Amino acid sequence: MRKKSVRRLFLACFVLLPLQYALVGVVGLHTGGEPWPALVLPAFQAPDTDEAGALLETQPVLAATFADGEKTRVPVEALLAGLPASHHGAFFAEQCRPAALSGTPTTERCRHPAARRWLRERLAARYPGEAAPRRLDIVWVQLRHAPGGPAPRRTALDTLSLTFGSPRCR
């Protein structure tokens, strides 16, 4: 290829890739999703840190209460078995994060009856010997990893509680 052709190709990519990204955003707003696979790279965001330079990580901790009063901690991996592990945090952040933490009620989608029913069925399948699940608490905790320090320090931030009535989760 000639030098002039390479420059034109570079210029075309330089203009067309941002246009494609913008088009995907505009179409996605109207359709609710991406219309075709696009070249969108991760943001590579810097981790959250505090003033001392410690890394801050927010994650959900699940606790189920059954009809007989038994309480148990539920591993996120067990409840979302079948989904790639890399999606677990994003699932809970988008579906089951309290509005007080996210700033919007749209992250409390797991309060909808169909979502509660699905979560109840997942719990019942995971713990078949237990009584029926009656409640699931999604406790959001912040882990503070100090450089060269001891084990991470946990701080509870907020809790999203889901109650399950009958098997139909009215």
The pLDDT score that the predictor gives to residue 121 is: 92
Q: Does pTM surpass 0.85?
A: no
Cβ neighbours of residue 114 closer than 8 Å, sequence gap 6 or more: none
For the record, the structure tokens of 29 come out as 């707003």
Contacts of 129-133 with CB under 8 Å at 24 or more apart are 130/66, 130/68, 130/70, 130/72, 131/66, 131/67, 131/68, 131/70, 132/66, 132/67, 132/164, 132/167, 133/64, 133/65, 133/66, 133/67, 133/164
pLDDT along the chain (170 residues), means of 10: 87 84 70 57 71 85 91 90 85 89 87 92 88 92 85 89 68
pLDDT at 29: 63
Q: Which of 138, 106, 136, 112 is nearest to 124 (CA)?
A: 136
Residue 117 pLDDT = 92
| pLDDT recorded at residue 41 | 59
